[in-house]
Every structure is written in structure tokens, then in C-alpha cells.
């Protein structure tokens, strides 16, 4: 009976519109309205959210983090014990691995993100390595497996949400067990009372509602590691794992929109453009802006990191708009010489599609200006 309600992944037919199940996911998961790119820190409630199953309700009075497996001493820690350890705050831009999926042809049928599955927050918590030091990692351990309380069924597999990291990634000083977002306790939907934050990685690594960490001697083969979140052209391939965030630049859409088409309207004359760029791989060193659909590019002014290696960076460009139609776009260029692709990065799961984003704009005089 479960096979009927939990079916294999599939691709949409060439002319198939978004279906009822995709719409159901789009209605419950949240994207960032692109004008909110203007904020250095995403205001609470505008950060993207992707919840695989339901938001669990965990009672902080009885909740414990269990650390076990290949450790010297298995430990259980409550929230007060974690908060008593030295804290660290890291500003991190998070992005869903499926961001851009609904722009793919053919379209993998899943959460239909366009480009808005992003957000930036200050995450405060205990470095994971400090907690692992309390338990003592056995030299035979090669990975840490993280278990969240989010429970459901996916492609026929009933599961608590689980992901692993290599011991090396787990010991990175920026990898946090976070209990605060922007200086306040985690909201329920962001993992209260405790979540993993792995700066530079896509959202699937950022396990929310953490209940357990297990050190293991073999590569973890759970559903979210070995079945989902793999880059494949064909469903039979094992595929490569999805890991770090591909470079992306996005513009705040200028002017004002039409309600339904979201096409932008601007006035002739100077139009200040701004946006954000980020990468979990090679760092962004330049952002180019195009106002002619990518035929020509101009470097934007890119703000420094301000000490926040894992957060988006602001860029600005002054555009002189003239009457008519235009297509604005931006691309991030990284230290290793890579640039965002103009064409799609297609794979069967619809992951890491960082193709540039086009913003159609119409420039007309202000009718009220006479």
C-alpha cells in the first residue's frame, strides 16, 4: 500500500505544467522574495525553508543530543550543557540543493524551486569538534552520521532524516551545532532546539532537529546520502554526491512589478542595481552584470567579504535605462576562473542548477511626470 503513495522519482513530460503534488510542496516550503536580497541578514520569516516531512515538536526539557558509535565515551547532552560550552557565531548563506530545479528541461518532479531557495543568517552554537572532543572520536571512525527528528517516507523508504559528513568535515572549526539564529533561539521550522550548520554546503547537509550523532567506520549509505542528493544523468548510475554550493549571483529586481507576470517596470534614466553573490566552492572574486540578456557584460562593484567567508557579498551597478525592453542578468566569477553557466546544469535530481537568472524589464516614462 505504501508503494502507491510513495513512488519513484520521475521527469515531467515536455509540456507538463506544475502538478498538484509539486504545488503542494511549493505551498508549504518557503522561498525568499527576491527584493529581500537587499538585507545583509535575511529578516526572520523570509529565509528559505525546505522541510522533507513535518516540522517536529521537541520538548527542550526532555530533548537530548546523543553522541555515540565509535567514540571513547558515549555522551548525552541537554541544551543547557551545550549552551555552557564556548560559543561561536558564523554568518552563512544557505541554499537548497534543488534551487533552480523548476527551470530545468526536462523538469525533475519534486519541490519546484525557481531561484529563491536562499537566505543568510548568523548561526550561533558550539563547534561540532568541541562536542566530538568530549566524546572522543575513535581513530577507526571515518564519518559522522547525523539524525534529525523529522520522520517520513520517501520513494518507499520510511526514515528519520539522516546525513553524514567525513570526520575531516565534521572537525572543521566552522561546522556548528547551532541553537541560535540571528541571536534568538532557533524557530521551530529552522530546527529547534539544535541543528547542524555546515558552511558552504547545500541545505541537505544542514540537519535540523538533531537528536543523534554516530561515528561510523564505513561510508553511510542511508537514503539521503546514497539514493537522494546524487548528481546523475541516468537513474541506474550511483552518481556523484551533492556537496558544496555552486557559485550564484542574483539581482534585486529593480523598479516595480506587474502582479501576475512579475515583469519589472523602470523609468528612463539612472537605475541603481544591487544584488548578492556567493559560492561554497572557489570564492567569488567578480560579478558581471548584463543589461542585454548576456550579450555584453560589465563588472559590478563587489563589496569585500567583511570577514564573512560563507555569506553572500553585495554588488552594485548603476544602469542607465532607456525606453524599451531589456533583460537583466548577473553572473558570479570565482577565484578558480569559473563562471556561472548561462545554460542549465541538468541532472536527474535537479540539483545545483546555477544557471544565470534573467529579469525581463520594461522601461517606460512615468505617465504622472507629464
Name the residues that contact its own copies, by CB under 8 A: 1-2, 4-7, 16-19, 21-28, 30-31, 33-36, 38, 43-47, 49, 51-55, 57, 102, 109-110, 112-114, 116, 151-155, 158, 187-189, 253, 256-263, 265, 324-325, 360, 362, 364, 367
Cβ 103 to its own copies shortest distance, Å: 9
Cβ 162 to its own copies shortest distance, Å: 14
Cβ 128 to its own copies shortest distance, Å: 25
Q: Which residues contact 9 (CB under 8 A, 6 or more apart)?
A: 108, 109, 110, 155, 235, 348, 349
Instruction: Verify cis geometry, omega within 30 degrees of 0, for the bond prior to 46.
Output: no
Cβ 282 to its own copies shortest distance, Å: 28
Cβ 316 to its own copies shortest distance, Å: 16
Measure the CA–CA gap between 202 and 113, rounded to whole angstroms: 14
Check: CB of residue 273 under 8 Å from CB of residue 285: no
Cβ 113 to its own copies shortest distance, Å: 7
Compare residues 119 and 200 and give the one whose CB is closer to its own copies.
119
Compare residues 1 and 140 and give the one whose CB is closer to its own copies.
1
Cβ 353 to its own copies shortest distance, Å: 14
Q: Which of 100, 61, 112, 92 is nearest to 190 (CA)?
A: 92
Cβ 362 to its own copies shortest distance, Å: 5
Compare residues 110 and 279 and give the one whose CB is closer to its own copies.
110
Cβ 213 to its own copies shortest distance, Å: 22
Compare residues 175 and 353 and give the one whose CB is closer to its own copies.
353
Compare residues 17 and 337 and give the one whose CB is closer to its own copies.
17
Compare residues 263 and 282 and give the one whose CB is closer to its own copies.
263
Q: Which of 165, 157, 159, 144 is nearest to 212 (CA)?
A: 144
Check: CB of residue 264 under 8 Å from CB of residue 256: yes
The count of other CB atoms within 10 Å of the CB of residue 6 is 14
Sign of CA dihedral 69, 73, 76, 78: negative
Compare residues 158 and 336 and give the one whose CB is closer to its own copies.
158
Residue in the structure block whose three cell numbers are 533583460: 327
Check: CB of residue 135 under 8 Å from CB of residue 129: no
Compare residues 1 and 80 and give the one whose CB is closer to its own copies.
1
Check: CB of residue 277 under 8 Å from CB of residue 265: no
Compare residues 22 and 143 and give the one whose CB is closer to its own copies.
22
DSSP assignment of 314-345 equals: EEEEEEEE-SEEEEEEEEEEETTS-B--SS--
Q: Which residues contact 24 (CB under 8 A, 6 or more apart)?
A: none
Residue in the structure block whose three cell numbers are 540578456: 293
Amino acid at each position: 500500500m505504501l508503494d502507491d503513495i510513495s513512488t519513484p522519482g520521475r521527469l515531467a513530460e515536455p509540456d507538463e505544467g506544475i502538478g498538484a503534488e509539486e504545488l503542494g510542496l511549493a505551498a508549504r516550503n518557503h522561498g525568499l522574495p527576491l527584493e529581500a536580497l537587499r538585507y545583509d541578514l535575511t529578516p526572520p520569516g523570509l529565509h528559505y525553508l525546505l522541510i522533507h516531512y513535518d516540522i517536529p515538536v521537541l520538548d527542550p526539557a526532555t530533548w537530548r543530543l546523543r553522541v555515540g558509535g565509535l567514540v571513547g565515551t558515549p555522551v548525552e547532552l541537554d541544551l543547557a550543557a551545550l549552551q555552557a560550552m564556548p560559543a561561536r557565531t558564523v554568518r552563512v548563506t544557505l541554499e537548497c540543493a534543488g534551487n533552480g530545479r523548476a527551470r530545468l528541461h526536462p523538469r525533475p518532479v519534486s519541490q519546484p524551486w525557481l531561484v529563491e531557495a536562499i537566505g543568510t543568517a548568523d548561526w550561533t552554537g558550539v563547534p561540532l569538534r568541541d562536542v566530538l572532543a568530549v566524546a572522543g572520536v575513535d581513530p577507526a571512525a571515518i564519518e559522522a552520521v547525523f539524525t534529525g527528528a523529522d520522520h517520513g517516507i520517501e520513494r518507499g523508504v520510511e526514515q528519520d532524516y539522516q546525513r553524514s559528513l567525513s570526520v575531516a568535515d565534521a572537525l572543521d572549526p566552522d561546522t556548528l551545532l547551532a541553537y541560535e539564529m540571528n541571536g534568538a533561539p532557533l524557530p521551530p521550522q529552522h530546527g529547534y532546539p539544535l541543528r547542524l550548520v555546515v558552511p558552504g554546503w547545500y541545505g541537505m547537509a544542514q540537519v535540523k532537529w538533531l537528536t543523534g550523532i554516530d561515528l561510523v567506520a564505513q561510508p553511510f549509505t542511508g537514503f539521503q546520502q546514497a539514493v537522494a542528493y546524487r548528481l546523475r544523468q541516468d537513474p541506474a548510475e550511483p552518481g556523484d554526491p551533492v556537496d558544496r554550493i555552486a557559485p550564484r549571483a542574483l539581482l534585486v529586481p529593480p523598479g516595480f512589478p506587474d502582479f501576475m507576470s512579475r515583469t519589472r517596470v523602470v523609468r528612463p534614466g539612472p537605475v541603481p542595481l544591487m544584488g548578492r553573490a556567493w559560492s561554497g566552492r572557489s570564492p567569488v572574486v567578480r560579478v558581471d552584470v548584463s543589461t542585454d540578456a548576456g550579450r555584453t557584460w560589465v563588472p559590478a562593484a563587489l563589496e569585500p567579504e567583511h570577514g564573512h567567508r560563507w555569506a553572500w557579498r553585495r554588488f552594485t551597478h548603476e544602469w542607465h535605462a532607456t525606453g524599451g525592453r531589456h533583460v537583466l542578468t548577473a553572473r558570479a566569477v570565482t577565484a578558480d576562473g569559473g563562471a556561472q553557466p548561462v545554460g542549465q546544469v541538468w541532472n536527474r535530481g535537479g540539483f545545483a542548477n546555477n544557471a544565470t537568472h534573467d529579469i525581463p524589464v520594461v522601461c517606460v516614462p512615468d505617465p504622472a511626470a507629464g
